[in-house]
A and B are shown apart, each in its own frame.
Chain A
């Protein structure tokens, strides 16, 4: 569990681990350069709860990237399975038990991913309260390589991994400021299946815009950064040699475009409102779309086809 100066959310996150019906857990809290006495205080209080698993704190003297923080925590533990539990998310008490049972019953699976409820909450002045919630769209299909290549399909809180996957595909890419989980998932899924558990046992908490800035989600606050890192990753993959005749970057760009088209089809009114954003994304995608073109007999036709599809969908 990586944390940085969000003690109320951290206290809640620790409690969400402590209430698990599966009790043989070890929680490694990586205090990513935040005030150590605050984290120690929260942990000391939490440890007054009737114990089940164990809690250890790793204080990093300086703040590092999210993925580096995850790697430090993994390095400091030896469990059979691991989860990256963000300090603002939470679980239903059956999460670990259900996910670990699934992994134990399916030896080919490298990860178990549960359904997710997205909770929108406002955090202000040290208080946090829910505003609304929705079912996070997730399915077995979105946990395949093809399903995930277009973009991140689930938050880390939903997944339990078998530790052996680290030996197979390596740790999180510490150079990535965001989207390290997506990049890791894409490598991990090549090592084995992600087992989907439809029960919504993971709670992905998102702060509303009215919340204090310090409590924000990385994905909401750094939307631009996420887009930029995604493009950089896709650029990098485009330079990699194809595997089984398929280039990872090309596949990602095509899938991302499909996701955009899907968004437009599914919610035309929102799409119109966000037209500017989408257009800007398409412009950014253009260079990569051109690269796809070498697999298409008539590249211009391919680009025009995408354009026509976009125009048709928007005009509906």
Chain B
């Protein structure tokens, strides 16, 4: 973490300055959303609520209009900034607005900017300190809004001492900070030499390099833009996470940005809150014999459930139930054939007989060296030769699993819900069949899942399921995007213990701990989980400082949050999670795979024909978007990411329709 200089320290460092020039947006003021374009999301929310669904998509159109207006200025080789009226003109064209509607939305934008404005504590501190030292304070901003509007915003944020003559804004002076052409206007108006001015802003180029090259003292402080993501992904659905992240941005202004805390208290808190909200919604609608949070994806929600229960929420007892894909499948196994043996051994796995024995839970007769690596085909042959022993072990496992389920109340007759992340429902469907068979069809299970993609369809014959944020009825592109982020979510929504690989005779679950997972837990996941629990409780109890409550956790907002982090991550999130390996093998042994795929050693040697294989690997085995962004962030490998974005458009950073 980088500790920022205080206002006094900044002024002390530039004690010769007689004028403090300060950037406006994200230095003097900010808004109660994570990035500037989200103001348009608030506008769209209000327009749809008051004027109907025809206004859906307004926010994206507003972003695009500004880009078009800027392109127009650039193509005309003009040095000035775009104006608010020019943006309004583009918006009118794009949305085919009437004159009255155009005037209405432009007035609404001004109004909402004023409603959302907040002062930046550092901005307050440095302007107060400068004024008390007798410095003149002026605002120098690259923006399309007229000075009169900036003045109104500044007054709303508490800078009541500021006057119109103190504001120099690019759209009114024919030049910009960015291209250096606004500074002569400012210096001439102030009638001071360059070395008398200290400029403070958040843009390395426009507020740092450019004025510094003119001899102006500069200080760049970009803490208010650390919560920014891609501009285009702007819709009302992003506002829940946006508000939470804006709170973190403000709170971490002095202390430094803590990515694990923000991911945990943001996206993961929303997922956990959604798991609890969803389980509660079932209880409100029907009689339920048991609520079961699945290990490990339901660990955090189970913690939250118990805390809320202790806060007199009137919640019934809920269990934390340990089962996994591999144990449920093995427990249900009745035959081993060439067709199903592949579920014991993945196509590209290299195992040993010893590891295979642990995997199937039985000694295996083989002439092979028990510790010598064998390929998948050989491993499958070993399992087939030992089919009887493997089936016997499965039978024992089934008995132990049933003992465990009995002790956790899953076999009580009636309707049970199982809360899990997702994604195909096959494990819960296997479990449902086991429960139905054991209870004489008196026990039914319903899967309450965060997300489901198209593979879930066949499971619907076996179990009723609900995907909170996504299911196979979403678009194919969204289904694929979900597939690309599930490794990220599985890694983050987790427990401090390994996956269950078997049970003792008395039903006690046996968890396997892997070194990579333990290390990742200590470094990242523990903090993420703790922040998520705190955040979810605050959301659910209505005490979150962002104002986000349970009512804000909807299908749309949760999907948007998953996409905001999972599909359009920031570089700080990629840096944090590049330390995490995710173990997915059936026995949960081995080192797993890194969440962020390793960048090829020599990106220039990658050929176009390699891309389909690369895409396939990224979407199935890694966090696809994290990996693509990591490639994109490095000049030598950026072309690979660009090429993937082009060939598979749904991978491109834009996910808002």
A, B bound = yes
Partner of A46, one of B285, B454, B464, B472: B464
**B-facing mask of A124-150, CB < 8 A → 1, else 0?**
001111101100000000000000000
Shortest Cβ distance from A92 into B: residue? B473
0/1 string, A26-64, CB within 8 A of B gives 1:
000000000000000110011111110000000000000
Q: Does A16 contact B (CB under 8 A)?
A: yes
- Determine which of B281, B444, B465, B476 lies in contact with A133 in the assembled complex, contact meaning CB atoms within 8 Å: B476
Residues from chain B with a CB closer than 8 A to the CB of A42 are 460-461
Could you say which of A45, A91, A92, A132 contacts B460, with CB atoms under 8 Å apart? A45
Q: Does A11 contact B (CB under 8 A)?
A: yes
B282 interface neighbour in A50, A92, A93, A127, Cβ under 8 Å = A50
Q: Looking across the interface, which residue of chain B has its beta carbon closest to that of A48?
A: B464
Q: A50, B281: Cβ atoms under 8 Å?
A: yes
Let me know if B460 and A129 touch, CB within 8 A.
no
Residue picked from A19, A117, A133, most chain B C-beta under 10 Å: A19
Q: Do the beta carbons of A48 and B463 come within 8 Å of each other?
A: yes
- Complex contacts, B461 vs chain A, CB 8 Å: 7-8, 11, 41-42, 45
A69 at the A/B interface (Cβ < 8 Å)?
no
Contact with A along B441-483 (1 / 0, CB 8 A): 0001110000000110110111111100001111110010000
Closest to A129 in B: B454
B residues near A133, Cβ cutoff 8 Å: 475-476
B372 within 8 A of partner (CB): no
Q: Are A49 and B457 in contact (CB under 8 A)?
A: no
Structural contact, B466 and A19, CB atoms closer than 8 A: yes
Query: Known: A50-B285, A90-B473, A133-B475. Contact between A12 and B457, CB under 8 A?
Result: yes
| A203 sits at the interface (CB 8 A) | yes
Contact with A along B141-160 (1 / 0, CB 8 A): 00000000000000000000
Instruction: Report B-chain residues with C-beta under 8 Å of the C-beta of A127.
Output: 455, 458
Query: Which residues of chain A (79-112) have a CB below 8 Å from chain B?
Result: 90-93
Cβ distance A145 to chain B, nearest Cβ, rounded Å = 27
Check if B415 is an interface residue, CB within 8 A of chain A: yes
> What residues of chain A lie closer than 8 Å to B454, measured between beta carbons?
128-130
Chain A positions within 8 Å of B286 at CB level:
50-51
Contact assessment for B415 and A15 in the assembled complex, using a CB-CB cutoff below 8 Å = no
Q: Most chain-A CB neighbours within 10 Å: which of B415, B464, B555?
A: B464
A90 CA / B460 CA spacing, docked (Å): 14
Q: Does A119 contact B (CB under 8 A)?
A: yes
A49-B446, A50-B282 as given contacts; A12 in contact with B475, CB under 8 Å: no
Select from chain A the residue with minimum beta-carbon distance to B480: A130
**Which residue of chain A is the closest to B281 with respect to CB atoms?**
A50
Q: 0/1 per residue, A206-241, Cβ < 8 Å to B?
A: 000000000000000000000000000000000000
CB distance from A265 to the nearest CB of B (A): 28
Give, as a whole number of angstroms, the nearest-CB distance from B161 to chain A: 50
User: CA separation between A117 and B477, bound complex, in Å?
Assistant: 12
Our pick among B282, B285, B473 for the contact of A19 (Cβ within 8 Å) is: B473
Contact (Cβ within 8 A) B281 A45: no
Q: Which of B282, B463, B474, B475 contacts A45 (CB 8 A)?
A: B463
Considering the chains assembled together, what is the distance between the CA atoms of A49 and B286 in angstroms?
A: 10
Residue of B with least CB distance to A132: B476
Closest to B445 in A: A48
Chain A CB within 10 A, most for which of B415, B455, B462, B476: B476
- Whether B473 and A11, one on each chain, are in contact in the complex, defined by CB atoms closer than 8 angstroms, is no
CB 8 Å contact bits of B264-297 with A (1 = contact, 0 = none): 0000000000000000011001100000000000
Chain B: minimal CB distance from A170 (Å): 33
Contact flag A11-B457 (CB < 8 Å), given A50-B285, A203-B473? yes
Our pick among B282, B446, B457, B466 for the contact of A8 (Cβ within 8 Å) is B457
Q: Which residue of B lies closest to A120 (CB)?
A: B476
Do A126 and B458 form a contact, CB below 8 Å, given A19-B466, A119-B476?
yes
B458 and A49 form a contact (CB under 8 A)? no
Contact B463 A19 (CB under 8 A): no
Check if B464 sits within 8 Å of A129, measured CB to CB: no
* Interface pair B472/A12, CB less than 8 Å apart: yes
Interchain nearest-CB distance for A54 vs B (Å): 14
Chain A residues, CB < 8 A from B463:
45, 48
Report the separation of the CA atoms of residues A91 and B444 in the bound assembly, to the nearest whole angstrom: 26
- Known contacts A92-B473, A117-B475; decide if A47 and B458 are in contact (CB<8 Å): no
Bound Cα distance from A280 to B462, whole angstroms: 47
Decide: A93 and B475 in contact? CB cutoff 8 A.
no
User: Which residue of chain B lies nearest to A15 when distances are taken between CB atoms in the complex?
Assistant: B460
| A38 vs B185: C-alpha distance when bound (angstroms) | 80
Q: Assuming the A-B contacts A45-B462, A48-B463, A93-B473, are A130 and B457 also in contact, with contact meaning beta carbons closer than 8 angstroms in the complex?
A: no
Q: Whole-angstrom distance from the CB of A305 to the nearest CB of chain B?
A: 39
Which B residues, 487 to 521, have Cβ-Cβ distances below 8 Å to chain A? none
- B contact residues around A14 at 8 Å (CB): 460
A196 to B: closest C-beta gap in Å: 14
Partner of A91, one of B445, B462, B473: B473
A19 to B479, CA, bound (A): 16
Docked-complex contact A12 and B415, CB < 8 angstroms: no
Q: A121's closest neighbor in chain B, by CB?
A: B454
User: Are B473 and A47 interface neighbours, CB within 8 A?
Assistant: no
Q: Which residue of B lies closest to A201 (CB)?
A: B473
Bound complex: CA A45 to CA B471 (Å) = 17
Q: A19-B471, A49-B466 are in contact. Are A11 and B285 (CB under 8 A)?
A: no
Which residue on chain B has the smallest CB distance to residue A8? B458
Chain B residues in 8 Å Cβ range of A47: 464
Closest to B339 in A: A125
- Identity of the chain B residue whose Cβ is nearest the Cβ of A90 in the assembled complex: B473
Q: Which of B285, B458, B472, B474 lies in contact with A51, CB distance below 8 A?
A: B285
Shortest CB-to-CB span from B465 to chain A, Å, is 7
> What's the minimum C-beta distance from A20 to chain B, rounded to whole angstroms?
10
Chain B residues whose C-beta falls within 8 Å of the C-beta of A132 in the assembled complex: 476
What CA separation (Å) do A244 and B461 show in the bound complex? 52
Question: Quick one: which of B446, B471, B479 contacts A48, CB cutoff 8 A?
Answer: B446
Taking the closest CB of chain B, its distance from the CB of A17, in whole angstroms, is 10
Nearest Cβ on chain B to A199's Cβ, whole angstroms: 9
Given A12-B472, A130-B479, answer yes or no on A48-B415 (Cβ-Cβ < 8 Å).
Answer: yes
Closest to B461 in A: A11
Q: Are A16 and B466 interface neighbours, CB within 8 A?
A: no
Distance in angstroms between the alpha carbons of A92 and B555 in the assembled complex: 13
- Which residues of chain A have C-beta atoms less than 8 A from B445's C-beta? 48
Query: CA separation between A50 and B117, bound complex, in Å?
Result: 43
Residues of B within 8 A of A12 (CB): 457, 460, 472
Among B446, B460, B463, B466: residue with most chain A CB under 10 A: B460
Cα distance A127–B457 in the bound complex, in angstroms: 8
Rounded to whole Å, the gap between the CB of A23 and the closest CB of chain B is 10
Q: Which residues of B lie under 8 Å from residue A15 when comparing CB positions?
A: 460, 465, 471, 473
Residue positions of A touching B, CB distance < 8 A: 7-9, 11-12, 14-16, 19, 41-42, 45-51, 90-93, 117, 119, 126-130, 132-133, 203
Q: Would you list the 6 A-B pairs with minimal beta carbon distance, nearest first?
A: A49-B464, A11-B460, A48-B464, A12-B457, A11-B461, A48-B444
- Can you sample 11 A-B contacts with CB below 8 Å? A8-B457, A12-B460, A15-B473, A41-B461, A42-B460, A46-B460, A47-B464, A92-B473, A93-B473, A128-B457, A133-B476
Query: 8 other contacts beyond A7-B461, A48-B444, A129-B454, with CB at 8 A cut-off?
Result: A8-B457, A8-B458, A14-B460, A16-B473, A50-B281, A50-B466, A128-B454, A133-B476
